[in-house]
Structure 1
Amino acid sequence: MAVVCIEFMNLCYIKKCYLSISSSILSSKMMDELVSTAFAILIVIASIFCYSWIFKKPSKETALLPPGPRGLPILGYLPFLRTNLHRQFTELAHHYGPIYRLWLGKKLCLVINSPSLIKEVVRDQDTILANHDAPVAGLISTYGGMDVLWSPYGPYWRDMRKLFVRELLSNNNLEASYNMRKDEVRKAIRNVYTKIGTSIEIGELAFVTEFNVVMNLLWGGTIDGHKRAEFRKVASKVVDLIGKPNISDFFPVLARFDIQGIAKEMKNCLAHIDGILDNVINEHMKTDSSGGEEDNRKNDFLQILLELKEKNTSINLIQIKAILVDIAIGGTDTTATTVEWVMTEILRNPDVIKTVQQELTNVVGINKSVEEFHVAKLKYLDAVVKETFRLHPPLPLLVPRISSESCTVGRYTIPKGSRVFLNTWSVQMDPQIWENPSEFRPKRFLNGDGGKLWDYLGNSLEYLPFGSGRRICPGLHLAEKMVMYVLASLLHSFDWTIPEGQNLDVSETFGIVMRKTEPLFAIPSPRLSNLSLYA
C-alpha cells in the first residue's frame, strides 16, 4: 500500500505541473479532459504494476530460488542495508536460513552462511563459481581487471597466479628473502626504541614495515617517507572505494553517469599509483640497459616480469602494473589491519599478553632478538593470531563470487550472473560450531576445538580467514610469516601500555577489509636487558 500511495502522490504532482505549463495553450475544458484521461490511464498502469508485484505467482525458476526479503520494486533490498553488512547478513540468516536471496538493484544476490553450503561453492561447484564479481572500482584500479584478484577464471588467470606464486611467494623465494625481512623488522624495532614513552600508532608501524618488505620483494627497494605516506593514504582509499556500495554496480545502465563519483575518485587514485609505478619501471629499464646493479635486482619480481615481457610473451606493461597494484595494496593494507587487531585483543586481555611474553622468553630468550625460525615454536602466539582472525576476519564476506552458469547449491538454483556472498564471519561466530564464540579464547586453537586441527589453507570450512578452493588468497604464506614475525618482535622487545584516557574498544568499520573504527595507539617501554639489541 505504501508503494501505491507514493505512486498516487507522484501522479498528482505530475497532473499539477502539467496543468500549470499547458493552461496557456489549451482551453480549460480541453485541458481537464486530456489530463483526466491520462491520469486515469496512469492510475490503471500503476495499480496493475503494484498488484502484479505483490500478488503475482512465482515462476518455475523463481520457485527454485531460496527464500529471502522481498524489498522494494526496482531498488530491491538496497534501501534497507546497514553499515556492518556481515552482521546484518547473519541476522537475516537467523530468519531465512543458511542460504537466502535478496535483490540489490538489478543484481540477484545469494548469501551463504553454513559450512556445508560453502563446501558446495568452493569445492563441488568451484569451477562454475570461481569468478569474482568485480565492482566498477575494482576494475578501474587494476586497469580493467588484468590482475590476479579480478581477472576471470581461465588460462590468463591461471598463468598470472602461477607466475605470482612461483616467482614471488614460493618457499625457496621466501627463504631467500629472509634477511631482507629481518632487516626491515629490526629497523622497525630501532624506530620504536627511539620513541620510548610516547604514543605510537600500531597500524601505521605495521604498514610501514610490511610496505618496505613488499616493495623490496617487488622491485628490490622501497620509496621515500613522503611518497610512502602518500601511497598508504591512496592504498587505503582504493580499498575503501572497492568496498563502498556503488549504484553503478547494482544498476549497470547507470555506470556511464558515475552518480556517486566513485569511478572518478578511483581514477584519481590510480593516477597517483601509476606515477609511482612508472618511475620504478623506468628506473629498472634504464638500469638494465646500462648493465648496472643487475645482480642486486635479479631476484625481484618486477625484473622477472620485465624479462618475460622482453621474451615476447603475452605479458605487457599494463598487465605488469595491474599485478603490482594487486600485491602492493592487497599485501600491505590487510596485514597492517591484522597486526592492529591482534595487538588490540592482546592489550584488552592482560593474561593473554603475559602468556605470550612468557612463551617468547622461553623460546627466544630474554637477551636475544626474535628470528623467523623461532616463529614455528610460538604455539600460543599462533593461537592468538588465529583467534583474532576468527573474531576479526580481514574480509568477513571474502570476495563476492559470480556464477558463470546456472547451478544448484543445497536444493536451490543459483541463476547465471548471480552474486554469491560467503559469510565466513557468520560461520566463525556460530555457537553451534564454537563454544562461547564472542569471547576471545586463544586456547581453543592450541589442541584443536573438538579434535580439529585448524590451518589457513581452507581445509576446515568452519574457519576460512583466507578463503578456500581455487580463489584462496595466493599471498597467505607471506601474510602468515609477516604477521607472526612482526608481532613476536614487537611483543618480545617491548612492554606496551594504553595511553591514559584512550578507550580500547573493538568497534569495526565494514568494507571489503574490516578495519578498526578508531586506530590503536600504544606506549612502548624496553623489555630486554641487553640494550644493544635495539641498536
Structure 2
Amino acid sequence: MAQALVSPTCPRVVDKVAAVTARLGAILKELGYFAPPVALVVILATKLVWDARIQSQRRKTLPPGPRPWPIIGNLSALVGDKPHRALQELAFEFGGLMYLQLGSVPCVVLSTAEAVREVFRSNDERILSRPKMLSFGIISDNYRSISFGPPGKLWQSMRRFCSTELFTNTRVASYQGRREEEVKHMLMVLVEESEKGKAVDLRSWLHDLSSNMTTRMLVNKRFFANRGENDGKQEILKSELEHVLEGFNVNIMRNVLSDYLPSLRYFAEELHGARAALEAFRDEAATVGRKIVELEKHRQRAQNPSKDENYVPDFVDVLIGAPLDDGKSLSDTLLTVQVLEFFFAGTHTSSATVEWAMAELITHPDLMKRAQAEVDGAVPADRLVRDSDIPNLPYLQAVVKETFRMHPVLSLGGPRETTRPIEVNGYKIPAQTRLFVNIFAVHRDPAVYTDPETFDPDRFLTQHLHTNHCSGFDSHELIPFGVGRRMCPGFHLGNTLVHLMLANLLHRFHWSLPEGETIATVQASVMSEKLYGLLFHPNENLHLVPELKNGLPAS
C-alpha cells in the first residue's frame, strides 16, 4: 500500500515510511497506545516528503539538535522512564541550547546554566505561557489555575496575591504552631516504631507528615497517620484524598499523542480514550476536593469571625473572599482546583526531597554525623527544631541545597511556550515553540560544578556559598523551584518544610540501616531515580531503623 502512494522518483521513501512506522509503533507502545493502524501508514506516506522539505528549510536559523525522524521528529527522546537523562545525553553532543522537533511541535531544551541565563535574561515575559496540552486544560478548569493559566489578568492577579498575601514570610510564619504540632505528632509515630527496633518506611512517614502540615495550612485539618483518632467517615475521606493525590501525579503531565501530532486528535483522545480518562479524574478530584475544602463552612466562618484571638486563618479563609477574577472571588470550581494544586505541590515534592537527603546521608555516614552534630549543638534537646533555627544551621542548608542539586524532584520542570519570537545567541526561535528546562542537566553542568556526580554539601559553603536556590532570577545554576516569573510561588514554604522535616529527623533520632543492608546495597537498590508520574523518587522506598536520642519535648 505504501508503494502505491509514492512517486517512483523517490525510491527511498518506502524504506523511510517503514522505518518511521516502526519507530512510531514503539513510541505508541511506550505511551500506552495500540499498534498504529494501516490508515496511519497512509498518513505517514503522504506527509513524509513535504515534512522533510519544510523542516530542512526551518532548521537553518534554529539551534543545533539531532536530526528528526519524519512525522514523529524527536518524540522518542521524551518517552521512557528517564527522559531527563536522554535529553542530557543529547545535550552533550548538541549543546546547552538544543532544538528538537516533537511531532509537529517545535521545542527548545535548555541544559546548562549559561543557556538558562541567556534565554531568561531578556525573554522571560515572552516565555511565561504554558503549552495547550490536553491534561493541562482538563485538570485546570480550562487553563485557569495558577500552574497552567496563560499570563493574562487572572493569572497576574493570582500570582500577585500569592506573593503579597498567601506565601509571604509573615503568612508562612503564622502557621509555625500548626507545623510543630504535626511534626511532634509524626515523631510520636516514629518513637512507637523505634521501640519495636524495626525499620520504618521513611517515604510513607514523610508523605504523611508533609500531607498533614499542608492540609493544616490549607484547611486546618489532619488526615494522615491519626493513630486511631479517625472515625469511619474521616478514614474514607483520607483514602479518597490519597487516590486523588496519586491521580494528580499520574495525570497532570499525561502524555497524549495529540499534544504533539494534532492531526491524530481523534485517534488519541477519542478512540484511545485519553479525554474520557482525564475528565473522569477531573470529576473525581472535584468531588473529593469539595469534601476537603468545605467552602460553605469557610463562608459561614467569614460571616461570623471566630472570637478566638489566636485563630490563624487557613489558606481557604484567605482565598475565599479575595477579588482575584476581575474584582470577583474565584468560582467554587476554580478555588477547589487551586487548593488541590497547592496540596499536591506541597506534599510529594517536599517529602521526596527529604527522602533523597536521608538516602544520601545514610550512605555517607561522616556527613550524617556532621549534620547531626550541627543540629544538636544549635537546638536544645528539650524542644523541636523551629523555623528560626534554620539560619543557624549552615551545614544543614548546604545539605538541602546539594540534595536539590543532585535530585531535583521535577527534573524537567513544567514546559513553557514562547508567545512571541525570540532570538538567542543568533538563533531565531519562533512563537509557539515549547521550552523545557532540563533542571537535572543544569544542576550537573560541569562548567559550573566540580565533580557534579558527587554528593558534596561543602561546595555550598565554599565556591558556591552565595548561590540562592530561592531566587529564580540570579542563581541559574540551582533552580529546583523553577526560574523567572513563573517559578513556583510557594518556594519559601517548600524550602521551609524540607529543612524542618530533615532537621527534626536528625535532631531526635540516630539512624541505621536494617539488618543485612549495607551502604553498597542501598546505593544499588535505592539511589537511582525512578519516574512515577510527574515526580522522580528514589528507585525503592528508603527503609531505616530509628533510635531515639532523647525523649520528645512536652510542648
What TM bracket, shorter-length normalisation?
0.7 to 0.9
CA deviation profile, 1:205-260 (whole Å, cap 9, x unmatched): 22222222222222222344543343233213322223342212112343455255
Does the aligned pair in 2 maintain the 1:496–1:524 contact within 8 Å?
yes
1:239 equivalenced with 2:236 (yes/no): no
1:188/1:448 CA distance change after superposition, 3 Å: farther
1:380 positional shift: 0.8
**How far apart, in 2, do the equivalents of 1:294 and 1:275 lie?**
31
Does the aligned pair in 1 maintain the 2:322–2:330 contact within 8 Å?
yes
1:76 equivalenced with 2:98 (yes/no): no
Does the aligned pair in 1 maintain the 2:63–2:97 contact within 8 Å?
yes
Q: Which of residues 130, 133, 151 in structure 2 aligns to 1:132? A: 130
What aligned pairs does 1:334-483 form with structure 2 within 5 A after superposition? 334-449=349-464, 452-458=466-472, 459-483=474-498
Does the aligned pair in 2 maintain the 1:4–1:46 contact within 8 Å?
no
After TM superposition, the structure 1 stretch with the greater mean CA deviation from structure 2, 326-335 or 290-299, is 290-299
After TM superposition, the structure 1 stretch with the greater mean CA deviation from structure 2, 162-171 or 430-439, is 162-171
- 2:542 aligns with 520
The structure having more radius of gyration, on CA atoms, is 1
1:159 positional shift: 0.5
1:265/1:376 CA distance change after superposition, 3 Å: farther
SS of alignment partner, residue 236 of structure 1: helix
Does the aligned pair in 2 maintain the 1:128–1:407 contact within 8 Å?
yes
1:187 positional shift: 0.8
TM-score (norm 2): 0.82
SS of alignment partner, residue 164 of structure 1: helix
Number of matched pairs: 500
Q: Which of residues 40, 63, 67 in structure 2 aligns to 1:66? A: 63
1:417 positional shift: 0.8
1:361/1:474 CA distance change after superposition, 3 Å: same
1:355/1:471 CA distance change after superposition, 3 Å: same
1:158 positional shift: 1.1
**How far apart, in 2, do the equivalents of 1:313 and 1:72 lie?**
49
Does the aligned pair in 1 maintain the 2:469–2:480 contact within 8 Å?
no
SS of alignment partner, residue 109 of structure 2: strand
**How far apart, in 2, do the equivalents of 1:335 and 1:72 lie?**
39
CA deviation profile, 1:134-155 (whole Å, cap 9, x unmatched): 5322222222222111011122
After TM superposition, the structure 1 stretch with the greater mean CA deviation from structure 2, 480-489 or 219-228, is 219-228
What aligned pairs does 1:30-49 form with structure 2 within 5 A after superposition? none
- 1:509 aligns with 530
**How far apart, in 2, do the equivalents of 1:71 and 1:299 lie?**
53
What aligned pairs does 1:204-223 form with structure 2 within 5 A after superposition? 204-223=204-223
- 1:23 aligns with none
Does the aligned pair in 2 maintain the 1:122–1:470 contact within 8 Å?
no
1:124 positional shift: 0.6
1:335/1:150 CA distance change after superposition, 3 Å: same
SS of alignment partner, residue 198 of structure 2: coil
- How large is the RMSD of aligned CA atoms in angstroms? 3.1
1:491 equivalenced with 2:484 (yes/no): no
**How far apart, in 2, do the equivalents of 1:325 and 1:123 lie?**
32
Does the aligned pair in 2 maintain the 1:344–1:506 contact within 8 Å?
yes
1:265 equivalenced with 2:288 (yes/no): no
Question: For residue 74 of structure 2, what is the amino acid of its counterpart?
Answer: Y
What is the percent sequence identity of the aligned residues?
28
**How far apart, in 2, do the equivalents of 1:119 and 1:394 lie?**
21
After TM superposition, the structure 1 stretch with the greater mean CA deviation from structure 2, 251-260 or 68-77, is 251-260
Does the aligned pair in 2 maintain the 1:68–1:102 contact within 8 Å?
yes
- 1:201 aligns with 201
- 2:294 aligns with 281
CA deviation profile, 1:166-222 (whole Å, cap 9, x unmatched): 332111112221111111111111111111123222222222222222222222223
After TM superposition, the structure 1 stretch with the greater mean CA deviation from structure 2, 112-121 or 383-392, is 112-121
CA deviation profile, 1:83-122 (whole Å, cap 9, x unmatched): 3111111111111122221111121111122223212332
After TM superposition, the structure 1 stretch with the greater mean CA deviation from structure 2, 480-489 or 258-267, is 258-267
1:283 positional shift: 4.6
- 1:17 aligns with none
1:324 equivalenced with 2:339 (yes/no): yes
Does the aligned pair in 2 maintain the 1:107–1:418 contact within 8 Å?
yes
What aligned pairs does 1:106-121 form with structure 2 within 5 A after superposition? 106-121=104-119
SS of alignment partner, residue 162 of structure 2: helix
**How far apart, in 2, do the equivalents of 1:322 and 1:100 lie?**
35
SS of alignment partner, residue 195 of structure 1: helix
**How far apart, in 2, do the equivalents of 1:380 and 1:76 lie?**
46
1:213/1:134 CA distance change after superposition, 3 Å: farther
**How far apart, in 2, do the equivalents of 1:178 and 1:523 lie?**
28
1:466/1:527 CA distance change after superposition, 3 Å: same
1:72/1:310 CA distance change after superposition, 3 Å: closer
Unaligned runs of 5+ in 1: 11-41
1:56/1:169 CA distance change after superposition, 3 Å: closer
CA deviation profile, 1:497-527 (whole Å, cap 9, x unmatched): 2223554221212353222221112221111
CA deviation profile, 1:472-512 (whole Å, cap 9, x unmatched): 11111111111111111111111122223554221212353
- 1:306 aligns with 320
- 1:26 aligns with none
**How far apart, in 2, do the equivalents of 1:9 and 1:71 lie?**
13
**How far apart, in 1, do the equivalents of 2:69 and 2:539 lie?**
31
**How far apart, in 2, do the equivalents of 1:331 and 1:226 lie?**
22
- 1:87 aligns with 85
SS of alignment partner, residue 447 of structure 2: coil
